[in-house]
Amino acid sequence: MRVHTLVAAAVAVAVSSSLPAEAQTKASPRTDGRRAEARTLADRGFEHYQAQRYDDALAAFREAVQVYRAPTVLLMLARTQERLGKLVEAQAAYEAVLFEPLAPTASKPFRDAKQQAQEELTALEQRIPRLKVVVTGAPDAAVTIAIDGVTVPATGQPMSRNPGRTRVVVSAPAHRAVERVVLLEEGRTAELSIVLGPSGAGVTSQGRGSLLPAGLAFGLGGLGLGIGTVTGILAKVEVDDIRSRCNEAGHCPRDDKPRAEQTQSLITASTVGFVVGGVATALGVTLLVLRPGGEKASSTQEAAQTGAMHVVVGPGMARIEGTF
């Protein structure tokens, strides 16, 4: 990592040397006060920056730039925004350093700041994510695209964005609004394709599929547990009745053998019912959380999937198979 120039010293030297000699001799007390204030703010910002308190550093550098605009402080402002993941804002700050006019007598720290800004901007531009929103189903002139609450032109061209989750809402008159959340990754371009349908109530929300699969699973779970409970109670009544006619040695009447076999079937049915009910209930919880059938959008848009499931029951086992 480059060893950064001490900002306070750079401001002190560069601010004075950036002014023509005549202006320096005629500097007013107010100008001197602004320089001193900017120097204090820049020094404070650099201390926060070194301590990795980037939010505090950003606030100090912004205030310093408002008091006295110096390339050295703009450079630190850009670096701080980059540390905070605000890559688009950092890009603008680096460009501001490059476009900042310099007097022929500008100090070396000011000239070095421009060179460093160009190098760091080149590296930063490779990391900035881009988002391309392609909308069909409505005339381009009627489409409105809002990204994180800010309306942007519907050009269909990639737009520079900060990394992380980004909320996109697309709307048009006489069409249903569509909302998507995109996860943007550094150095990658995400393309989001949205088809606007006819007018309808509300906004189509991203990533939340139907509750029907979860409802079916819970229903199946309840049915299985109910069957398990009922057959279990019936089996217990039969077992108790058969045992009541057995002697102390455990020998039971031969006439009760068919009833014992039927009771064993009830016990098996109860076991299968509880197994199916437990598995289906657990699946219902999973489906309630995942909500299959919704759309997901990330650096590469994923297609929506619908869920299907069926129960397989066999001797001593029960399982639920499905695709989601």
Check residues 207 and 119 and name the one with the higher pLDDT.
119
Which of 219, 322, 318, 312 is CA-nearest to residue 275? 318
Query: Which pair of tokens denotes residue 279?
Result: 């598995």
Percent of the chain at pLDDT above 90? 43
Averaged pLDDT for residues 65-92: 95
Measure the CA–CA gap between 246 and 183, rounded to whole angstroms. Answer: 70
pLDDT band at 210 (very low <50, low <70, confident <90, very high): low
pLDDT band at 223 (very low <50, low <70, confident <90, very high): confident
Check residues 233 and 135 and name the one with the higher pLDDT.
135
Tell me: pLDDT of 297 over 50: no
Which of 16, 56, 57, 6 is CA-nearest to residue 36? 16
Question: Is 0.75 surpassed by the pTM of this model?
Answer: no
Q: What is the pLDDT of residues 151-201, one digit of tens each?
A: 998 888 999 999 999 999 999 999 999 999 999 999 999 999 999 998 864
Which CATH code of 1.10.510.10, 3.40.50.2300, 3.30.420.40, 1.25.40.10 fits the domain covering 7-125? 1.25.40.10
Exposure on the CB side of residue 159, measured as CA atoms within 13 A: 19
Q: What is the pLDDT of residues 44-54, one digit of tens each?
A: 999 999 999 99
pLDDT of residue 32: 67
Question: Taking the domains of the chain in order of start, what are their residue ranges?
Answer: 7-125, 130-195, 212-323
pLDDT band at 87 (very low <50, low <70, confident <90, very high): very high
Q: What is the pLDDT of residues 1-36, one digit of tens each?
A: 444 444 444 544 444 444 433 334 445 566 667 888
pLDDT band at 311 (very low <50, low <70, confident <90, very high): very low
Class of domain 130-195: mainly beta
Beta-carbon contacts of residue 75 (< 8 Å; ≥ 6 apart): 93, 94, 97, 113, 116, 117
Q: Name the least confident of 16-20, 61-65, 192-196, 291-295.
A: 16-20
Q: What is the pLDDT of residues 247-278, one digit of tens each?
A: 766 677 777 677 777 778 768 877 876 777 67
| DSSP code at position 40 | H
